[in-house]
Amino acid sequence: MKRAVLVGLALIGGFGVAGCGVDAGAPPAPGEPKLGAIPTVARYADVEFPLDRFRTRPEEFLMLSRAHDVVVRDCLARFGIGYVVPERVLVPDVDRPVGVVSVDDAARFGYESPFAADVAAVDEANAAVEPLSGVARGVLRGDGQRTVDGVTVPVDGCVGEARRALVNRNPDRENVVVGLAADSYAMAEADSRVRAVFTGWSRCMSAAGFDYRDPWAANNDPAFGTGVPTAEEIATAKADVACRTEENVNGVWVAVITAYQERLVTEHRDVLNQRRDEIETQLVAATDLLDA
């Protein structure tokens, strides 16, 4: 999987402190947050970041999507339009803010997404659905006739009706969460402690016969952009994970991201709490729609 944005919440307890890499107790450079215990991270299931609780989780997104589909279907039915509800399946977070961390993923997928086949299957199923006619598309989106057979088309169409039924979300607050997470990743990658483990990782990779300055340089190597992992890509990814383990790159990187996100949550707590409240309100509305 090529470089992505967003996964994350607060580190799950119970990790041991690795014996190599950066000393969590070492004084940070000016402006850098102090770190807690540095975990050992061998899979994304081991990781949560502080900003996660303010995002729509995959299972929540699935519920909201299904409720949205129900409203759209029922709205179109008022106009005598049959609607095939899109295929909806639970797809885990596909973003990996610290790249590949799992030995198994590296051996099977190289740097490609472990979820690519799932996403492709959903896209294929949706592509097979017969498209709506011109009039039906106008009713769906609200950009066609204002009335159809004497029935008034909702503002912004059936899609707008579904959005309102699920409580209009505030895209600005939603974008704040996405933006803060992206900021935390950028700040972490500029942090002296992450740069130090990147340097150790690069030395380790060089000793194994691979010349990359940091993990993203390997992850985003143009030679690995085919979508199908080659033997070379898998060998590189496996060496990448081995060197991450040797230098505890994942643990330090996750700990540093967590520290920056904790700072950002404190600085933006009001808007983040508003975003979480908004999600909870949407979920209540979705539950009522699906139960009905």
Band the pLDDT of 121: cuts 50, 70, 90: confident
> Comparing 113 with 119, which gets the higher pLDDT?
113
> Can you give the residue range of the structural domain that contains 129?
44-104+112-291
pLDDT of residue 9: 30
Q: Lowest mean pLDDT: which of 57-61, 122-126, 129-133? A: 122-126
Which residue stretches of the chain are H helix?
A: 58-77, 103-109, 116-127, 134-141, 157-165, 171-190, 192-207, 215-219, 231-247, 249-267, 269-291
Tokens at 110, concatenated: 């190289």
Cα–Cα distance for residue pair 54/277, rounded to 1 Å? 9
CA distances from 176 to 55, 93, 183 (A): 10, 18, 10
Is residue 31 assigned to a domain?
A: no
Cα–Cα distance for residue pair 242/207, rounded to 1 Å? 12
Encode pLDDT of 29-70 as tens digits: 779 999 988 999 999 888 899 999 999 999 999 999 999 999
Is residue 20 assigned to a domain?
A: no
Is residue 191 assigned to a domain?
A: yes
pLDDT of residue 7: 34
Of the chain, the percentage scoring pLDDT greater than 90 comes to 70
pTM for this prediction? 0.82
pLDDT of residue 272: 96
> Comparing 16 with 169, which gets the higher pLDDT?
169
Cα–Cα distance for residue pair 34/24, rounded to 1 Å? 8
Band the pLDDT of 15: cuts 50, 70, 90: very low
| Residues making up the chain, counted from first to last | 292
**Number of domains the chain contains:** 1
pLDDT of residue 69: 94
Is residue 2 assigned to a domain?
A: no
Is residue 58 assigned to a domain?
A: yes
Is residue 161 assigned to a domain?
A: yes
> Comparing 157 with 19, which gets the higher pLDDT?
157
Is residue 143 assigned to a domain?
A: yes
Is residue 222 assigned to a domain?
A: yes
DSSP β-ladder status, 147-148 and 151-152: antiparallel
